[in-house]
Chain A
Amino acid sequence: MGVSRTSAIWAVIWPSLRGDPEIIWSFIPFTLSVKPMDQDLRMTSLLTYTFKNLPSTSQWALRFSMRPLSCSSQLRVAAAVQTKSKQTLAKPNIRNIVVVDGVRTPFLLSGTSYKDLMPHDLARAALSGLLHRTSVPKDVVDYIILGTVIQEVKTSNVAREAALGAGFSDKTPAHTVTMACISSNQAMTTAVSLIASGQCDVVVAGGVELMSDVPIRHSRKMRKMMLDLSKAKTLGQRLSLISKFRLNFLSPELPAVAEFSTNETMGHSADRLAAAFAISRLEQDEYALRSHSLARKAQDEGLLSDVVPFKVPGKDTVTQDNGIRPSSLEQMAKLKPAFIKPYGTVTAANSSFLTDGASAVLILAEEKALAMGYKPKAYLRDFMYVSQDPKDQLLLGPTYATPKVLEKAGLTMNDIDAFEFHEAFSGQILANLKAMDSDWFAQNYMGRKAKVGSPPLEKFNIWGGSLSLGHPFGATGCRLVMAAANRLQKEGGQYGLVAACAAGGQVCHRSFIGASRKSFSWKQNKFIQECLI
């Protein structure tokens, strides 16, 4: 019963027009040489750019002339670029699409500081943060798209409510998308499509999730009676309806905990997946510890620059993620399995936790960005969605999508400088790494001749991941993209690849009430980032 699902990957080239002048400087000859066809356009936009940033042009020119003399580190970077399979992922006759910048609210454990908010409050914070960070004129924004999973019924188009509240023009249309844990990836790819097709030039994409509050409904019987009552005209009709009331009508209907199609919870599926790939509890705990340690390090070093502080009404200003808790293997080993009891391997410590948070990114057509004087952080190059059997391969999306998107882009694993994979569970990440490294799996399940190989861990989620930073379902995609872009910029890489697995269908109906540190990740979504250096 392989229910067909879609999933996505997209690629990014990032030219780092802002930041280190050296990078900018090496950008020009490269572009000119590779794409002479584009020369006019590029020159025009650069001119516009130069014109708008007059104060900095002198610095530009200076750097340019100094090039032969300056730092050898650049040369190293340049050399690295030449070993890539392709020097750029730009395609002729297709608009280049860039991410100018992106922000997110701090991701918090649900039930903490955000617990009294509504989802659009959180989303508004992210949108305001983006406005502040990019100074984009509100009326320039053509469209706003947000992703979310558990919908607050009062604000079913949460994108619109948040945009109005954040002060965007009421003339700017907004819609909400949902695609389980890759909802904000879907928001971003929708934005890319809108720009690529020429519909829009400037789009804000993002996502929000508030797991501190979820819709709990009356039972179907109770709802039916209430609806019928509202239609009843006479007292007699009302009384006869009320006489049918039974006490069990009052039992509430909780959002489904399990996958609708298979009735299996995500954690349960992850535990089975880990067992299928023979991944031990210790391996999972070690990976979780790595994620938390790296996240703490990144936080301490101030690398998580996409986080914007959020003054919560009636509470203190939240400035950083609160789920990063490096522990010890001994402590983690004491936990009992959370799903398959008593012998399972997935525990609270090696799963991502229920999280509140929102994120937003500003996506533009490149020429528009340059015309507006922006120094974009990354090109968004390609994306792909894939899908598999929701029962046994629920969380294996990255394995299927990675080779496909690499082939589509004409790259190999070695070309990628920064991997950002969504970490739903340690076991799920390790299973994907093992699957990508298995010829047997590639031949028997992916119809490939050989394995694609697993990403090297030194390039993999090195600023932490969903396990430690948190995973607000609807908002994680944007976090992944910004982490990849910021890492490339920081480390001087060229290509980044983002992947997330998601399960379920196009609609997500899961939530966890009273459960701690359980998480879900769904579907498959990838991004390749490319830096032109």
Chain B
Amino acid sequence: MVASRAVGSLSRFTRSRMLRCPGYICRNFTKSSALLTRTHINYGVKGDVAVIRINSPNSKVNTLGQELHSEFIEVMNEVWSSNQIRSAVLISSKPGCFIAGADLNMLTACTTPQEVTQISQEAQKMFEKVEKSTKPIVAAINGSCLGGGLELAISCQYRIATKDKKTVLGSPEVLLGILPGAGGTQRLPKMVGVPAAFDMMLTGRGIRADRAKKMGLVDQLVEPLGPGIKPPEERTIEYLEEVAITFAKGLADKKISPKRDKGLVEKLTSYAMSIPFVRQQIYKKVEEKVRKQTKGLYPAPLKIIDVVKTGIEQGSDAGYLSESQKFGELAMTKESKALMGLYRGQTLCKKNKFGAPQKEVKQLAILGAGLMGAGIAQVSVDKGLQTVLKDATLAALGRGQQQVFKGLNDKVKKKALTSFERDAFFSNLTGQLDYQGFEKADMVIEAVFEDLSLKHKVLKEVEAVIPDHCVFASNTSALPINEIAAISKRPEKVIGMHYFSPVDKMQLLEIITTPKTSKDTTASAVEVGLKQGKVIIVVKDGPGFYTTRCLAPMMSEVIRILQEGVGPKKLDSLTTSFGFPVGAATLVDEVGVDVANHVAENLGKAFGERFAGGSLEVLKQMISKGFLGRKSGKGFYIYQEGVKNKNLNSDIHSILAGLKMPSQPDVSSDEDIQYRLVTRFVNEAVLCLQEGVLATPTEGDIGAVFGLGFPPCLGGPFRFVDLYGAQKTVDRLRKYEAAYGRQFTPCQLLMDHASSPNKKFYQ
């Protein structure tokens, strides 16, 4: 495929060249022989413009690795030394990808910071040569242009990007715990201004082409083409190349200036940035904000600020040096290892390892238009799934439909959708109160109230109307799927699909299979989940599956800690400063006190003493007073519309005081409280792997981070054990076991890992 495309582009090239400039034909032949020796890059000459095409073999994306790097140097040297060539165009032959970033394997293979620094410096050198090239180089960008790809693009003299949805520019390094290590920290602030550069590098957000044009990140936009004489993607790349060539020529002839006109606001900003005092204020402000948000748990953002500052205040040389050194240091941190692990895991969990289902799901039916049901509908209709949303009452249905509309409309407000697209998507949704049309459904997802008898009732009703091939999926957070499937006529078609609230924001989908669930049913569920844009873990059935089961013992510990006299605010700050995105007490409010109680009771019955800890009486008394959490306006905190700072619910004090437990001073330091929570979580997760509920540690980490907010900087419970040390984890557990008993007994698998230090979850 790739080869044929390369050959195709070559033949095209040859043809047009032969037509226009017969004199160059011989040259053409020599170039094509050179092409055969290179695997990642080929180039040809059109008139006096070198067209350098990047196309990494056997991959959907181009990544900056050693081979590509050395081939690029080779090609550029030829370009610079040739008298024939006056300018160059840099373009990818792959549709949807310019360069997706540096090759992560290249970084993870390094064992010392010096090696990584070395890589960074080589790239810096190369890109500096590109930047200083006397022959103008135009980067023609179609598709993702991220990380190192962006750094290369901004080293070029000119950038032209397609205005395609797939064209995204960004510096996502910070999300991997590193920084742009090929001159990005130095060039980006000069190109888009310090504030915008900080925003890009510290958030890692992707920037669409039209916005990139406004920011000055790209110089020209090219509209993607529709069907014509060739397939649209192919012709769009060709057109982009044609346009880029005219600009390359224009730049070489000095007819076009690479400098762009700055707007008034931009001029003012850049003037303000020339005042040292203003700059210092900005550094301070950004640093404060970063510290507040990261709680000092993530080293990369602070280093990025530092490197940018060095470059601006002490000059480029110091900046480049600092960049490469900090890059090397960061790549060796635990945080970056954890984050890169998550990145890899996320990629893995976006694949369907069960293969393609026999029948593609086109018609989806959702039972229950509550928060979950409507959320599932929202992520389905905008992917083109025909969706029926059914509820029992018109009012509940109307609320659900409004939720879907609002979700789509918010995207229109953010300009991610046009109002026309919103309407077209919304028309994929049918709201109804009966089972009309269910005979055409390929999959039914029920999201009714968590009550076994109710779930049985809808399952029976649905099975009476759906066709044989239709999958029945239950969205439950704790009810075992086999119990739901017990009354099914066709248990092989019953599966669990556990979405997380809010569905449109939470990336995770936990799919639960029973021993009777067929492989094709699983494949179908995964396929739908992937279509909905979810990261998917597939786990075995059991009380609480994986995610809820890990959360429950931690929640039990939360209650105990509260009973021991630690206030909700203090507990929240302890958990967030450990890296959880949401404080533990707030989490209970968000989940709902009644739901937490329901889950705790169920799992307590199933797992017995291991899940004990705090007294459920706390939750029960809260429920009896109507403190159900955010949804009722009161929980541990008081929630008021429009009030940002939430206040403690003072009535909670009396409940907690009435159920007070004595605290044990030797396991109640701040650190101990944090570790009591985390180790119970981790221990239960490892037990899930031991019992086979989880298939792989990767899925365990992804589930914990994306579904439950386990600190991303720790990379998930399994990565935590690897990086923190199994022995140290066991020691902690033993210490707490001594104080509280069996709830902290480390599981066998964890002890195995502790006893043989070479054993790692990730090799």
User: Taking beta carbons and an 8 Å cutoff, which residues of A are in contact with B?
Assistant: 1, 3, 260-263, 268, 271-273, 275-278, 340, 343, 389, 391-393, 431, 434-435, 438, 440-441, 444-445
Listed stretches B172-180, B219-227, B681-689; interface member: B219-227
Interface centre among A260, A275, A343, A438 (most CB of B within 10 A): A275
A48 CA / B93 CA spacing, docked (Å): 73
Contact B230 A440 (CB under 8 A): yes
How does the 8 Å CB contact mask read for B244-284 relative to A, with 1 for contact and 0 for none?
00110000000000000000000000000000000000000
Interface centre among B220, B225, B232, B421 (most CB of A within 10 A): B225
Q: Tell me whether A392 and B420 are in contact (CB under 8 A).
A: no
Q: Which residues of B contact A340 (CB under 8 A)?
A: 223
Report yes or no: B421 in contact with A1, Cβ–Cβ below 8 A.
Answer: yes
Provide the bound-state CA to CA distance between A214 and B384, in Å: 38
Whether B228 pairs with A260 at a CB distance below 8 angstroms is no
Do B220 and A276 have beta carbons less than 8 Å apart?
A: no
Compute how far the CA of A263 lies from the CA of B419 in the bound complex, rounded to whole angstroms: 10
Please, which residues of chain A bring their CB within 8 A of the CB of B235? 275-276, 278
Question: Is B418 among interface residues, defined by CB-CB distance under 8 A?
Answer: yes
> Is the beta-carbon distance between A392 and B232 smaller than 8 angstroms?
yes
Task: Collect the chain A residues with CB atoms within 8 Å of residue B232's CB.
Answer: 276, 392
Shortest CB distance A118–B (Å): 32
Can you name the residue of chain A whose Cβ is closest to the Cβ of B226? A392
Residues of B within 8 A of A260 (CB): 420
A392 to B227, CA, bound (A): 7
A389-B230 contact, Cβ under 8 Å, with A1-B421, A275-B239, A343-B246 = no
A389 to B424, CA, bound (A): 14
B200-253 interface with A by 8 A CB criterion: 220, 223, 225-232, 235, 239, 243, 246-247
* CB pair B225 A272 closer than 8 Å: yes
Report yes or no: B225 in contact with A392, Cβ–Cβ below 8 A. yes
Task: Judge whether B223 and A277 touch: CB under 8 Å.
Answer: no
Contact A389 B226 (CB under 8 A): yes
Bitwise interface map of B from 628 to 662 toward A, beta carbon under 8 Å scored 1, else 0: 00000000000000000000000000000000000
Closest to B225 in A: A276
Please state if A1 and B228 are interface contacts (CB–CB under 8 Å).
no
The listed residue with most A CB atoms (<10 A of its CB), out of B227, B239, B247, is B227
Query: Closest B-chain residue to A390, C-beta based?
Result: B420
State how many angstroms separate the Cβ of B268 from the closest Cβ of chain A. 24
Are B229 and A438 closer than 8 Å at their CB atoms? Answer: yes
Q: Is the CB of B220 within 8 A of A431?
A: no
Contacts of B239 in A (CB 8 A): 275-276
Given A273-B228, A434-B229, 18 other A-B residues pairs in contact with their CB atoms under 8 A: A260-B420, A261-B420, A268-B223, A271-B223, A273-B226, A276-B232, A276-B235, A276-B239, A278-B229, A343-B243, A343-B247, A389-B226, A393-B227, A435-B228, A438-B229, A440-B229, A441-B227, A441-B229
Q: Which residue of A lies closest to B220 (CB)?
A: A343
Known: A343-B243, A392-B232. A276 touches B223 (CB 8 A): no
B230, B243, B246, B418: which has the most chain A beta carbons within 10 Å? B230
6 A–B contacts, CB within 8 A, in A order: A1-B421, A3-B424, A275-B225, A278-B235, A343-B246, A441-B227
Minimum CB–CB distance for B290 against chain A, Å: 37
Structural contact, B229 and A444, CB atoms closer than 8 A:
no
Q: How far is the CA of A112 from the CA of B86 in the complex (A)?
A: 50
Report B-chain residues with C-beta under 8 Å of the C-beta of A276. Answer: 225-229, 232, 235, 239
Min CB distance B11 to A, Å, is: 16
What are the nearest 4 A-B pairs in CB distance? A392-B226, A276-B228, A276-B225, A277-B228
Chain B residues numbered 654-675 whose CB sits less than 8 Å from any CB in chain A: none
A365 to B223, CA, bound (A): 49
With A and B bound together, what is the CA distance between A440 and B228 in angstroms?
9
Chain A residues, CB < 8 A from B226: 272-273, 276, 389, 391-393
Q: Which chain A positions have C-beta within 8 A of B424? A: 1, 3
- How many Å lie between the Cα of A276 and that of B235 in the bound state? 6
Chain B residues near A389 (CB-CB < 8 A)? 226
Contacts of A1 in B (CB 8 A): 421, 424
Complex interface bits, B525-569 against A, C-beta within 8 A gives 1, otherwise 0? 000000000000000000000000000000000000000000000
Chain B residues closer than 8 Å to A263, beta-carbon distance: 418, 420
CB closest chain-B residue, reference A434? B229
Q: How many angstroms from the CA of A261 to the CA of B420 in the assembled complex? A: 5
A308 to B195, CA, bound (A): 65
Minimum CB distance partner of A264 in chain B: B223
Docked pose: A277 CA to B239 CA in angstroms:
10
Contacts of B243 in A (CB 8 A): 343
Complex interface residues of chain B between 459 and 510 (CB less than 8 A to chain A): none
Chain A residues with CB under 8 A of B246 = 343
Residue of B220, B226, B229, B246 contacting most chain A CB atoms (<10 Å): B226
Among B227, B418, B421, which residue has its beta carbon within 8 angstroms of that of A445?
Answer: B227
Q: Which residue of A lies closest to B240 (CB)?
A: A275
- Residue pair B223, A272 in contact (C-beta under 8 Å): yes
Residues of B within 8 A of A277 (CB): 228-229
Within 8 Å CB of A273, what residues of B? Answer: 226, 228
Contact residue among B223, B228, B421 (Cβ-Cβ distance under 8 Å from A278) = B228
Cα A3 to Cα B228 with chains together (Å): 19
Bound-complex Cα distance A392 to B236 (A): 12
Q: How far is the CB of A121 from chain B (nearest CB, A)?
A: 35
- The CA-CA distance from A466 to B421 in the complex, in Å, is 33
Expressed in whole angstroms, the minimum distance between the Cβ of A199 and any Cβ of chain B is 35
* CA of A272 to CA of B230, assembled, Å: 14
Residues of chain B within 8 A of A438, CB atoms compared: 229
Distance to closest chain B CB from A164 (angstroms): 38
Given A275-B239, A343-B220, A262:B420 Cβ within 8 A: yes
Q: Which residue of B lies closest to A277 (CB)?
A: B228
Closest to A440 in B: B229
A435 surroundings in chain B (CB, below 8 A): 228
Question: In the complex, which residues of chain B have a beta carbon less than 8 angstroms from the beta carbon of A431?
Answer: 228
Q: How far is the CA of A348 from the CA of B239 in the complex (A)?
A: 22
